């Protein structure tokens, strides 16, 4: 790997790290912080977190890969999280997933060619009474049908960014 633990981004992160105690308990909050800023956890961030907390790099990887939240590849501009919780499943979320895959031409976890969307499947967004549900970034869309999905995607495409 050619990435280093220095560079402008690493400096910016380290600046923010200082709010957290320098020990193991900060590993998850720091991973969350970096992902919040970058959209994913780059390799040099893992190294920076390991150095800051005094935890071995392998162990930081171990933690990061254990939890579903962390991503190691950059993601598209908008993150689509389709709910596959029980209520959504019973209300036909499967066919919404098929439709999204078909429309976006991606598999679960994939990013569209234009880099606009990343499609993820999650278990329960806690809006069960509006099932089936998806979230795009921080906005929740409920009572989805194929047509409703098309409309929402078109809006994001129109904005283009």
Partner 1 sequence: MSQVAEVQVGMASCGIAAGAEPVFQFFAQNLAQGKVQVKPVGCLGMCFSEPLVAVVTEDGERFVYGPVDVKKAERILAEHVRGGTPVEDLLAKENGFFTKQVRIVLENCGMIDPTSIDEYIRRGGYEALQKVLREMTPAEVIEEITKSGLRGRGGAGFPTGTKWSFAAKEKDPVKFVVCNGDEGDPGAFMDRSVLEGDPHRVIEGMIIAGYAIGAQEGIVYVRAEYPLAVRRVRQAIAAAEARGFLGRNILGSSFSFRITVKEGAGAFVCGEETALIASVEGKRGMPRRRPPYPAQHGLWGHPTVINNVETLANVPWIIRHGWEAFARYGTEKSKGTKVFALAGKVRHSGLVEIPMGLTLGELVLEVGGGIPGGKAFKAVQIGGPSGGCLPAALAHVPVDYESLKEHGAIMGSGGLIVMDEDTCMVEVARFFLDFTQKESCGKCTFCRVGTKRMLEILSGIVEGKGRPEDLEVLMDLGQKVKTYSLCGLGQTAPNPVLTTLRYFRDEYEAHVREKRCPARVCRALLTYRIEPELCRDCKLCTKACPVGAIVQGAGKFQVIQEEKCIRCGRCREVCPFGAVSVR
Q: Which of 1, 56, 59, 38 is nearest to 13 (CA)?
A: 38
Q: Torsions phi, psi of 78, nearest 5?
A: -120, 140
Looking at the DSSP bridge assignments, the partners of residue 80 are 119, 136
Binding site for partner 1 (CB under 8 A): 23-29, 31-32, 53, 55, 62-63, 66-70, 84-91, 95, 98, 102, 122-131, 133, 138-142
Q: Shortest Cβ distance from residue 107 to partner 1 (Å)? A: 16
Residue 51 vs 89, nearer CB to partner 1: 89
Nearer residue to partner 1 within complex by CB, 69 or 73? 69
Exposed (0-12), middle (13-18) or buried (19+): which is 89, by Cβ within 10 Å?
Answer: middle
Cβ of 136: how many Cβ atoms within 10 Å? 17
10 vs 134 by CB, closer to partner 1: 134
Helices (H), 2-161: 8-17, 27-38, 43-53, 57-66, 86-90, 93-104, 146-159
Give the residue with the Cβ less far from partner 1, 9 or 89: 89
Task: Decide: 31 and 41 in contact? Cβ < 8 Å.
Answer: yes
Nearer to partner 1, 6 or 73 (CB): 73
């Amino acid at each position: 790997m050619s990435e280093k633990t220095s560079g402008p981004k690493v400096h910016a992160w380290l600046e923010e790290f200082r709010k957290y105690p320098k020990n193991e308990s900060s590993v998850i909050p720091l991973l969350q912080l970096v992902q919040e800023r970058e959209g994913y956890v780059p390799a040099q961030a893992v190294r920076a977190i390991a150095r800051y907390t005094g935890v071995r790099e392998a162990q930081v990887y171990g933690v990061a890969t254990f939890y579903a939240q962390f991503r190691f590849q950059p993601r598209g501009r908008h993150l689509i999280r389709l709910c596959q919780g029980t209520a959504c499943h019973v209300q036909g979320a499967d066919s919404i997933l098929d439709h999204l895959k078909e429309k976006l031409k991606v598999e679960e976890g994939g990013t569209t060619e234009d880099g606009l969307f990343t499609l993820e499947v999650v278990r329960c967004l806690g809006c069960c009474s509006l099932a089936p549900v998806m979230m795009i970034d921080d906005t929740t869309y409920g009572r989805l049908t194929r047509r409703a999905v098309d409309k929402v995607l078109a809006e994001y495409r129109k904005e283009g960014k």
